Amino acid sequence: MLAVEVQDLSKTFRSGWFPRRLTHALRGISLSIPRGIIFGLLGPNGAGKTTLLSILATLLLPDAGRARVLGHDVVREARAIRPRLNMASGNSNFIWSLRAPEILTFYGRLYGLSGWALSRKVDELLALCELEEHRKVPYHELSTGLKQRLALAKSLVNDPELLFLDEPTLGLDPDISARMRAQIKALRQDRGTSILLTTHYMREAEELCDEIAFIKSGEIPARGTADALKRQIRIGDVIALRLDPPVWDRLADLPGVLRCVSQDGRIECTVDSAEKRLPEILRLLHEHGFVVRDLDVHEPDLEEVFVELAK
Ligand SMILES: Nc1ncnc2c1ncn2[C@@H]1O[C@H](COP(=O)(O)OP(=O)(O)O)[C@@H](O)[C@H]1O
Ligand SMILES: [Mg+2]
């Protein structure tokens, strides 16, 4: 059974009376996601990520098309799936004066937990999300990283089979977002939770997700594993070089090199992975008597991927 099955899903927001504005947030999206994997929706701000997640989480109604979650229709059978899924957002906000245990207790009650089972659940989640030391701190005094961890803890109160994470590392420092990613991976590994997450960080999608779909202007122009997408879109890391002598024809034919352009004595080589290919390229250059005058490696950003996709 699939975790998510979406066919021709559309959502248009109407706002204002005069002039009346229409925003086509989703324009006929189709997507199927198997169970037990981490699936990433990767796209820039305004792409329609939150809209899609909200429809799948039964929080928003679509205008047209069909969506099934864990085998049930999200509109007609919402009640059947709600207990089995949950969602956390990097933008969530809880009542400012409440403490983590109180917030988790509140949400636990919404899912019908009470008494001993409820307090055991709250303790378990505080431990799992490393919030125990912060039991007594009111929500508004928690750091952004702790707030995000609390949002994650909240989304686990009903042991969901399917978890929607909307930009779970939004605004986090690199080391804290790395820990968050490790925690998300552990959920899939230890509990077998199916996870659909959104992000606008290419690297995050690549590191965390078994499969990725690009979403842009309410459409999904490409999907696949990170490696397959890079091959398909021919986007990878860029190695920029200045050589002496300045040109070497064979560079473009080396393994892993997707594309090579040279301009004004500068060569830009796009490779599938700089980490993998750079040592070999440097070795060969040295072997053939080239001097590397300047070297710069940069990762493609999401914009470059979308520029490629739009071609
Ligand atoms: N409630 C709403 N009313 C009007 N427009 C909305 C509403 N929610 C989202 N939108 C618009 O729909 C588009 C997609 O938004 P969203 O799904 O939030 O994108 P993302 O999460 O990828 O940043 C954006 O143009 C946004 O402004
Ligand atoms: Mg969003």
Ligand 1: residue of 21, 23, 50 to mutate (most ligand atoms within 8 A of CB) is 23
Residues 103 and 162 in one domain: yes
Residue 170 phi, psi dihedral angles, 5° rounding: -55, 125
Final residue before a domain boundary, out of 199, 231, 263: 231
Final residue before a domain boundary, out of 208, 231, 254: 231
Total number of domains in the chain: 2
Distance CA 223, CA 264 (A): 36
For residue 131, pLDDT beyond 90: yes
Residues 166 and 264 in one domain: no
Residues 122 and 218 in one domain: yes
**Cβ(100)–Cβ(129) under 8 Å?**
no
Distance CA 216, CA 309 (A): 10
Taking only Cα atoms into account, the Rg of the chain, rounded to an integer number of angstroms, comes to 23
Alpha-carbon distances of 142 from 75, 138, 163, 182, 225, rounded to whole Å: 36, 7, 24, 21, 36
Beta strands in 151-287 (DSSP E): 162-166, 194-199, 211-216, 219-224, 237-244, 257-263, 266-271
Residues 186 and 68 in one domain: yes
Residues 175 and 304 in one domain: no
Secondary structure class of 82 (helix, strand, coil): helix
Cβ partners under 8 Å of residue 272, min gap 6: 227, 230, 231, 236, 237, 256, 258
Specify the pLDDT at position 301: 66
Q: Which of 33-47, 138-152, 210-224, 234-248 has the weakest average pLDDT? A: 234-248
Residues 97 and 167 in one domain: yes
Structure-token pair, residue 306: 């979308």
> How large a percentage of the chain has pLDDT more than 70?
97
Residues 150 and 249 in one domain: no
Looking at the DSSP bridge assignments, the partners of residue 99 are: 138
Using a 6 Å cutoff on CB, does residue 263 contact ligand 1? no
The whole domain housing 294 covers 235-310
pLDDT band at 311 (very low <50, low <70, confident <90, very high): low
Residues 260 and 180 in one domain: no
Using a 6 Å cutoff on CB, does residue 86 contact ligand 1? no
Residues 138 and 31 in one domain: yes
Query: Which-ligand-closest: CA of 91?
Result: 2
Specify the pLDDT at position 294: 95
CA of 217 to the centre of ligand 1 (A): 10
Final residue before a domain boundary, out of 176, 203, 231: 231
Q: Which of 175-184, 259-268, 275-284, 287-296 has the weakest average pLDDT? A: 259-268
Distance CA 280, CA 14 (A): 55
Using a 6 Å cutoff on CB, does residue 47 contact ligand 1? yes
Specify the pLDDT at position 306: 67
Kindly state the DSSP code that residue 300 receives in the 8-state scheme.
P
Structure-token pair, residue 172: 């986090």
pLDDT band at 234 (very low <50, low <70, confident <90, very high): low
Residues 182 and 101 in one domain: yes
Residues 220 and 157 in one domain: yes
Sheet holding 237-244, edge to edge: 257-263, 266-271, 237-244, 291-298
For residue 47, pLDDT beyond 80: yes
Query: Which-ligand-closest: CA of 43?
Result: 1
What is the separation, in whole angstroms, between the first and last Cα of the chain? Answer: 35
Specify the pLDDT at position 272: 86
The per-residue pLDDT for range 186-216, each reduced to its tens digit, is 999 999 999 999 998 888 898 999 999 999 9
Q: Which of 174-183, 225-234, 255-264 has the weakest average pLDDT? A: 225-234
The CATH number covering residue 259 comes to 3.30.70.100
Residues 137 and 27 in one domain: yes
pLDDT band at 303 (very low <50, low <70, confident <90, very high): low
CA of 93 to the centre of ligand 1 (A): 18
The per-residue pLDDT for range 68-125, each reduced to its tens digit, is 999 999 999 999 999 999 999 988 899 999 999 999 999 999 999 999 999 999 999 9
Distance CA 143, CA 164 (A): 22
The CATH number covering residue 109 comes to 3.40.50.300
| CA angle, 7 then 68 then 22, to 5° | 55
> How large a percentage of the chain has pLDDT more than 90?
74
